[in-house]
Amino acid sequence: MLTDLENAMDSLITVYHKYSLVKGNAHSLYRDDLKNLLETEGPRYLKIKDADTWFKELDINSDCAINFQEFLILVIKLGVIAHHDIHKE
C-alpha cells in the first residue's frame, strides 16, 4: 500500500503524462500542453500569471518545452501558493 506522499507523487507523474503524451512525447510539455494543463488542473493559478508567462518562467533550458524537472518547479511554486492560501482561511 502506498503512503499519501507516494500517491501524491504518482498523481503528479500521471498529470504530467496526461498532457505530455498528447503529442506523443512523454518527456515534454509544449506551450499549448501547459496551457491546457493549467486551464484544466489549476485554473486559479492562471489568475496569477497567464499560461505564456508560466511557460517562459519554467522553460529553464530554453528548448521550447517543459521537461519533468521543469514541471516540478511549477509544482513547487503552486504548492507554495496553495500552502499560503490555506493559512489565509
Using CA atoms, how far apart are residues 45 and 18, in angstroms rounded to an integer?
Answer: 19
Using CA atoms, how far apart are residues 19 and 39, in angstroms rounded to an integer?
Answer: 12
Question: Which pLDDT belongs to residue 89?
Answer: 65
Assess contact for 8 and 15: CB atoms under 8 A: no
Question: Which pLDDT belongs to residue 84?
Answer: 96
Tell me if residue 18 falls in helix, strand or coil: helix
Question: Which pLDDT belongs to residue 36?
Answer: 98
Question: Which pLDDT belongs to residue 50?
Answer: 98
Cell of 14: 500521471
Question: Which pLDDT belongs to residue 53?
Answer: 98
**Cα 10-51-19 angle, rounded to 5 deg:** 35
The C-alpha cell 500521471 sits at 14
pLDDT, one tens digit for every residue, the chain (89 residues): 999 999 999 999 999 999 999 999 999 999 999 999 999 999 999 999 999 999 999 999 999 999 999 999 999 999 999 999 999 86
